[in-house]
Structure 1
C-alpha cells in the first residue's frame, strides 16, 4: 500500500495540473496553503523538486492575477529551471502557457506567441487536447491585439472545435468571447453581440462572476461603438454591480474608465475627466499597477481634449514611466503616440516627430498596425507643418495602405481627406479624387452603420427569443434532474456519468396497487398517484433528497448526491419514516367530474413498502431521445430488493445501511429481538433472507424509538 502522504501528493499534483476551470486568487491561495502542509521529508527527491517548481508556478499565477506580470515571470523562470531538470513535460507545458499570458498582458506580443506555440507543441506531445486548445485560443488573443484578425479567427475556430469535443466550458467561453472581440474590432457588431452573449451565458452558468462582469463590459463597449450609449451604460452598470459584489476594486476602476470613454465619445470631456479621476482614486487603493498606468494615460487624453496640453503632457509622461517600469510595451507605445500628439499641439514639432518615429519603429517591431498607422499620421502632420509636403504625402499614403489592409475604414477616410487637403493646390485632380473616395467611404460607413443597427436589433430580438426558449427548456429540465446536471446539458455536454462513493438509495412501492388498478378507472388512478407522489416530493424536499424517477407506482429517491452529504443515511432514514406516517394518513378526494368513486370506500389506509441501502452509485444522463436522469449500480439493485422483500407499512434496510445509520450504537437484546438504538432511530434485526441475485443477506427493520 502507498503511504498516505504519497497519495496526498499525487492527488495534489493532479488537481494543480488539471483544474476543472481557471482558478481564482482565493483558490490558488488554498492550494499554496495545502502545499505548505505536505510533509516534504516523506517524499522522494524528485517529488520534492517537483513540489518546489509547483510552488513557483502557483506563486506566479497569484502574481499574474494581481496584475504583477513582471514578478510572475521571475517565479516562472525558477519553475522552468526546476521542471527542465526534472524532465516534467506536463509542468513545462503549463509554465509556457502562463509565460505567454504574462507577456501578452505586458504587450510583448512576439514573446507571447513564442511561448504559446511552445505550449501547444508540448500539449500535443502529451496528448492533452484541452491544453493545446487553450494555447491555440491564446494565440488568437495575440493576433487580435496586433490587428491580424484573419489569423485571430483561424486560431479561435481551431480552439473552439477542440473545446466543444472536450466539454471544456471555461475554455469554450473564453475563446467564444475572444471571437466576439475580433468581430467588434472588425465592426461586425451583430456577430460580436452573438458571440459575446454566448460567452456571457456560459460564464454565468459556471458561476464565474468576474468573467461575467468582464463580458458585460465588452458588450457595453460594443454598444458604445455603435453609439447606443444608454445600452452601453446599462451593461457597464451591471458589470459595476457584480464587481462591487465580489469586491474587486481594480475591476470597478476599469468600469468607471469605460464610462469615461462614453463621455469622451459624446465630446463631454469634462465629464470624461471626472470619471477617469474617480477611477484613478479607486485604483490607487489597489495593487493593480497596470490598470493604474492605463487610467493615468486616459486622464492625459481627457486633458488633451480639453486643450489643457501642459497638464496632459505631465500626466502622459507619468503614465509612460509607469508602463515602461512595468514592461507594458504595447501600452507604452500607444501612450508615446499620445505624447507626440500633445507635443505637436504645443508647437514642439521636432520633439513630436522624434517621439512619433520612435513609436513607429516600436509598433513595426511589435506588428501593431493600429499604432503604426497613427505614428505615420503624426509624423506626416509634423512634415506638413514644416511645408515638407513630399515627405508628408509618403507618410500619409503608407498609413492609407495599412488602414486599407486591416479594414479600418474610418481612419482610411480621415487620411484620404487629409491627403485631399494636402494636394489641393499642387495636384487638384488627385486631391478631388481623394476627396471623392473619402466621401464615398463615409457614405458607405453611414449606410453600413444603419444596416448594422438594424442587424443588431434583429440579433437582439433573436437572442431574446432564444433566451426565452432556453429558460423554458431549463425550467422543464430542472423539474427532472439536479441543477448542476441541467447546466451541463444546456452547455452541450453529451454524456454525463458521475460516480458517488457514498450515497443512500430509497425505493418506495404502494402496497396493493395492482388490486386497486382492477377496481378504479385509469383517470382515478392517475389522480391518486399524483397525490401520493406530490407528498413524496414534499418530504424529499424537506430532507434535501434528490428525486430520481417514478416507475408505475414506485418512487426512487437518493441522498448524498449530487451535493455530497455526510449525513446521507440519517436524511433518507428520516424521510422514509416520515413517508410511512404521512402516506398512511393521506386522504385523497377524487373530483366529481372524474365520475363515481365508490371504490374508495373499500380502500383502507394507504400502505407502502420501503427499502434502503447505501454505497457507491453512478448517476447521469445517457442517450439523445427521451433522455432522463437516472442512477445505476449494485447499490440501486440492492435497495430495490430491500423494497420488494419488505412488508406493508415497513422499512427494510440492508446490514450495510444499518451499520452506517447506527454510528456508535451497538446491538443489544430487547426481549427476543436484537436491536440497535441511535436516537431517534431504532433498528430491529429481521434476520437473514434470500435476495435474488445476491444470496442470503442480513436485514433490519427501521423504526422510530417510541416516545
Structure 2
C-alpha cells in the first residue's frame, strides 16, 4: 500500500463537471488537482509527480487529443497513465485515444462504480510499472557496481574480452615499458604503526599513484606489500609508452616525499624501468589477475632492487628511447643478479 494517497489530475473545461468529479474522488481517498484547459494541465504535469490523469477530450484551444499526444511524446511524462473522459462515444474517438497512448476511455455520463474500478486498475498497473522500473534501476546500479569492480581488477579491453566469453587471454607485446617502485625501508620505518595506520598510509600513497597512472594512460598491474608495478604500451599499444612511464616516475618521486612515518623523516623510493617485449594474460578463475611475464619484466624488477634510494634507474634500452627528451646521470656498469654486468642510468628530469 502507498504511504501517501494517489495524486489524480482532472482536466476539464466544464467547472461543474470538474468540481463534481474532484469531490467524488476526494471522498474515495485520492488527492486531486484540477486544470481547466490543456495548457494548464501540461504545466502541472511538468511540475508535479502525478499518478493518473483524467482527461476530457472536447476542450477549446487545446483539446484532449493534443494534450495526450504532447504528454506521450515527452520522455519525462509518458509514464503517467491517462483515462479519457468524453461525451463522445464513437468507436473512432476511442480508437484514436488508445492509439495515442491512453490507458482507458469512459463515456459521459459515466457510471461512478465503473470509474472507480477503472481508476484502481490504472493505478495498480502504474504501481507495477514503477516497481519494475525501480527494480531495473537497482539492477543497472548493481551492474555498474560490478563493472567498476571488474575494471579495478582488469584493464577495460581485457574485461570486455572476458565478458564476451574468452576463457584464455594471453597476448604478446613487442614493445612496452615496465616500472617497479619500492618504498625504501618501509617495513623498518613502520614498526611503530598499527595495522590500520600502515594500510591507511599505503592506501594514500598508492591511490595517488593510481591517479597518476590514469592521468598518463598507463596500466597498473599490481601492488605487493609496499611495492608498485605499472606498465605503458598495453593492452592498447602506444608509441610514447616510455615517455609516459618516465613522466609518471618523476611525479611519483615528488608524491612520496609528502609522506613520513616518523617526524622529520620523509619516505623515499627506489624505482626501476626497462623497455622491451612481454607476455601478458589473465591468470586464475576466481581471484583472477592480469599479469606480465618475460625478461623485460624481470630486468625492470632488477633495476629497482639494484637501485639506490630516491633514484630512478633505467636500462640502456630505456635510456636510448628517452635520452633526447630527458636528462640522465650515468651510473655505469653494475652487476645484476641473474643478468650479469649491465650499463645503467639514473633518470633525473625532463628536458625543458
TM-score, structure 1 normalization: 0.31
Q: CA deviation at 1:505?
A: 0.5
The secondary structure found in structure 1 opposite 2:317 is helix
Cα gap change, 1:267 to 1:569, in 2 (>3 Å): same
What is the CA–CA distance in structure 2 between the aligned matches of 1:462 and 1:488, rounded to whole Å? Answer: 28
Query: 1:118-137 CA deviation, whole Å, 9 max, x = no partner?
Result: xxxxxxxxxxxxxxxxxxxx
1:508 aligned to which of 181, 194, 198: 181
Q: 1:520 to 1:455 in 2, by over 3 A?
A: closer
CA distance in 1, matches of 2:148, 2:350: 41
Retained in 1: the 8 A contact 2:272–2:307? yes
RMSD in angstroms over aligned alpha carbons?
Answer: 3.3
- Residue in structure 2 matching 1:653, options 292, 311, 314: 314
| Within-5 A mapping of 1:52-91 | none
Q: How far off its partner does 1:541 sit?
A: 2.5
Q: 1:647: Cα distance to partner?
A: 0.2
Query: In the TM superposition, what whole-angstrom CA distance separates every residue of 1:144-164 from its partner, at most 9, and x where no partner exists?
Result: xxxxxxxxxxxxxxxxxxxxx
Structure with more strand by fraction: 2
Partner of residue 606, structure 1: 267
Q: Is 1:501–1:615's contact at 8 Å kept on the other side of the alignment?
A: yes
Q: Which residue does the alignment assign to 1:559?
A: 232
CA distance in structure 2 between the aligned counterparts of 1:269 and 1:466, rounded to whole angstroms? 31
Q: Could you list the structure 1 runs, at least 4 aligned residues long, displaced by more than 6 angstroms after superposition.
A: 230-234, 268-271, 454-462
- 2:277 corresponds in structure 1 to 616
Partner residue of 2:148 out of 475, 490, 493:
475
Match of 2:208 among 513, 516, 535: 535
How far is 1:645 from its partner? 0.4
Q: Distance in 2 between matches of 1:626 and 1:706?
A: 42
Match of 1:638 in 2: 299
Secondary structure of 1:479's counterpart equals helix
Aligned to 1:691: 336
Q: Deviations over 1:158-213 (max 9, x none)?
A: xxxxxxxxxxxxxxxxxxxxxxxxxxxxxxxxxxxxxxxxxxxxxxxxxxxxxxxx
Could you tell me which runs of 5 or more consecutive residues in structure 2 were left unpaired when the two chains were aligned.
1-70, 79-94, 101-126
**Which residue is equivalent to 1:547?**
220
More helix by share: 1
**Distance across 1 between alignment mates of 2:219 and 2:274:** 15
CA distance in 2, matches of 1:558, 1:458: 46
* 2:327–2:348 contact (8 Å) kept in structure 1: yes
Give the match for residue 347 of structure 2.
Answer: 702
Q: Which runs of 5+ in 1 are unaligned?
A: 1-229, 238-265, 272-453, 589-598, 663-677
CA 1:684–1:548: 2 relative to 1, 3 Å? same
Q: Which residue of 1 aligns with 2:55?
A: none
What displacement does 1:688 show?
Answer: 1.8
Listed one character per residue, the Cα deviations across residues 23-47 of structure 1 (whole Å, up to 9, x for unaligned) are xxxxxxxxxxxxxxxxxxxxxxxxx
Question: Distance between the aligned counterparts of 2:319 and 2:136, measured in 1?
Answer: 53
Deviation at 1:460, TM superposition (A): 7.5
Kindly state the Cα deviation for residue 268 of structure 1 after the two structures are TM-superposed.
8.1
How many residues matched?
Answer: 240
The 1:472/1:653 distance shift into structure 2, 3 A limit, reads same
Residue 527 of structure 1 and its aligned partner are, at CA, apart by 1.7
1:297-336 equivalent positions in 2, closer than 5 A: none
What's the secondary structure of 2:314's corresponding residue?
strand
Alignment partner of 1:522 out of 185, 189, 195? 195
| 2:178 pairs with 1:497 | no
Shift of 1:607: 0.5
Contact 1:612 1:651 in 2 (8 A): yes
- Please show how residues 128-143 of structure 1 align to structure 2 within 5 Å: none
Shift in alpha-carbon separation, 1:540–1:705, aligned structure 2, 3 A: closer
Deviation at 1:703, TM superposition (A): 1.0
SS for the counterpart of 2:154 is coil
Offset at 1:623?
A: 1.4
Following superposition, the deviation at residue 654 of structure 1 comes to: 0.8
| Larger relative contact order, structure 1 or 2 (CA cutoff 8 Å, min sep 6) | 2
Deviation of residue 479 (structure 1)? 2.1
Alignment partners' CA distance in 2, 1:633 and 1:488 = 23
Q: Secondary structure at the match of 1:686?
A: strand
Distance 1:468 1:232 in 2: 27
Q: Deviations over 1:535-556 (max 9, x none)?
A: 2122222322211111100001
Corresponding residue SS for 1:626:
coil
Number of the residue aligned with 2:121? none
8 Å CA contact 1:535–1:583 kept in 2: the answer is no
